[in-house]
């Protein structure tokens, strides 16, 4: 992968996270943290909605080709998200219920589409 492609992917990911935050806010979420890191694990967005903590992975693409959630967030990535969420909960001594969501964004010059999958997977390792 060239440096130009890597930079473009980073820029697209940043745009996607901003769109995802706006989407979550429109659904009543309060954004608590972005790009939360624990050890080497990261979760894109931590929000609160109705007393529940929501750990959200954002996947942004320019095309809707191959955007099945299971393809975009494989088991290895789920484990990393669970690790980051566990660190978040422990650091803050949080005991609220939580869930894992995936937001898939297709964003290009023609349109933006947002697919929000609540309870996308469960924290089993």
* In the chain, domain spans: 3-121
Q: What is the pLDDT along the chain (125 residues), one digit of tens a residue?
A: 456 668 888 888 999 999 999 999 999 999 999 999 999 999 999 999 999 999 999 999 888 765 565 677 888 999 999 999 999 999 999 989 999 999 999 888 899 999 999 999 888 65
Record the tokens describing residue 55, joined without a space.
Answer: 């750990």
The fold for domain 3-121 equals Trna Endonuclease; Chain: A, domain 1 (3.40.1350)
Cβ within 8 Å of residue 11, ≥6 positions away: none
Q: In what order do the strands lie in the sheet with 98-107?
A: 30-38, 41-49, 52-61, 98-107, 112-121
């Amino acid at each position: 992968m060239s440096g130009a492609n890597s930079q473009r992917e980073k820029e697209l990911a940043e745009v996607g996270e901003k769109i995802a935050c706006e989407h979550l806010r429109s659904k009543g979420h309060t954004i608590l943290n972005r790009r939360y890191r624990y050890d080497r694990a990261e979760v894109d967005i931590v929000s609160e909605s109705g007393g529940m903590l929501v750990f959200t992975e954002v996947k942004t693409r320019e095309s809707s080709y191959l955007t099945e959630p299971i393809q975009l967030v494989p088991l290895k990535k789920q484990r990393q998200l669970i690790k980051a969420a566990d660190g978040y909960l422990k650091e803050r001594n949080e005991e609220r219920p939580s869930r894992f969501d995936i937001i898939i964004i297709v964003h290009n010059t023609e349109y933006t589409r947002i697919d929000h999958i609540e309870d996308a997977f469960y924290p089993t390792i």
